[in-house]
Copies of this chain bind each other. A is one copy, B any other.
Amino acid sequence: MREFDAALAASAAIVEATLGRVLPDNGGPEVRLFEAMRYSSLGGGKRLRPFLVIEGARLFGVPLENAARAGAAVELIHCYSLVHDDLPAMDDDELRRGRPTCHIQFDEATAILAGDALLTLAFEVLADEATHKDPGVRIALVAALAKAAGPNGMVGGQMFDLAAETRPLSLEEIMRLQRMKTGALFNFSCEAGAILGNASDLARKSLLSYAQDLGLAFQIVDDLLDAEGTEAEVGKKVRKDAVLGKATFVSHLGIEKARNEAHMLGERAVSSLDIFGEKAEPLAELARFVVSRRA
């Protein structure tokens, strides 16, 4: 696990440096926007999605600087979604990773615009030829990210999630919600490596199976942490689902079955990587980490 921690930290440092370079920091009266963008996307988070991009791309021998840019793009999307999700009209959260959320640190208008700007910047980063010399590869990344983040992916999932507060969802509905709200970006992250590396159909499908099981396991563990963890351990408010009366994997399956399901999915994710051999060990470690994480 030590080696994996180092790999995760190294990947996060590369993404941090890439984000630092692509984020605007010039002056002008709009400087507050740039400050809010940097505040919301630098200096925090495990950078799991960029790790998936970077390690997936490495399977196909993609240069690190290309993968880091695609990883930065998906992280920009993830960060924008958190900024907008935390707004008073949405989840109304005041703390994120132990710091004031963007609209608390700045103000609501700035947080709305910072989210919009992070979202737009993600596509600017992908479209730049520094991401890949082949325009066909870059446009495939843009198409895949727009689909994953758009109305039939992440944003649709956020809407679904708001609608879910009015009635408890069935297990099938919770699975569909997960696929849209969090699964789509996990899938894109693995797909990005395959696109950058011009992967074979078989390799692409194997990586996608891994991503789907990993994403679902991630969400089940999130529900378990909300149900079982303490605020100090998890680093954010817990029991939110129970207080809201929201149906989750845990409320449907119970704690033990949910934990078993997460473990089974983690193992299946690892087995999807068999065709890649030793090279995929960091991705396998990530699946083990996601299942056993305490925060």
Measured CB to CB, the residues of A under 8 A from B are 24, 26, 28-30, 32-34, 37, 80, 84, 87, 89-90, 107-110, 112-113, 115-117, 119-121, 123-124, 126-128, 135-136, 138-140, 142-143, 145-147, 149-152, 155-160, 162-164, 173, 176, 180
- Is the CB–CB distance between B90 and A163 below 8 Å? no
Partner of A116, one of B34, B119, B152, B176: B119
Tell me which residues across on chain B come within 8 A of A138, comparing CB atoms: 135, 139
Provide the bound-state CA to CA distance between A128 and B156, in Å. Answer: 20
Known: A24-B152, A128-B143. A89 touches B116 (CB 8 A): no
- Is the CB–CB distance between B143 and A127 below 8 Å? yes
Partner of A159, one of B32, B123, B128, B164: B32
Tell me which residues across on chain B come within 8 A of A124, comparing CB atoms: 143, 146-147, 150
Q: A80-B116, A119-B119, A123-B146 are in contact. List 7 more A-B contacts (CB 8 A).
A: A24-B156, A33-B151, A34-B151, A117-B150, A117-B156, A119-B120, A124-B146
Partner of A127, one of B29, B142, B159: B142
Partner of A121, one of B33, B140, B142, B146: B146
Provide the bound-state CA to CA distance between A126 and B120, in Å. Answer: 14
Task: With a 10 A CB-CB cut-off, give which of A123, A136, A140 has the most chain B CB atoms.
Answer: A123
State the majority secondary structure of interface residues on A: helix
Which residue of the partner chain B has the closest CB to A89? B108
29 A-B pairs whose Cβ atoms sit less than 8 Å apart in the complex: A26-B152, A29-B159, A29-B163, A29-B173, A30-B156, A32-B159, A33-B151, A33-B155, A37-B151, A80-B116, A84-B112, A87-B112, A89-B107, A110-B159, A113-B162, A120-B149, A120-B150, A120-B155, A121-B146, A121-B150, A123-B142, A124-B143, A127-B139, A127-B146, A135-B135, A135-B138, A135-B139, A138-B139, A139-B142
Provide the bound-state CA to CA distance between A88 and B164, in Å. Answer: 25
| A70 nearest CB across to chain B (Å) | 14
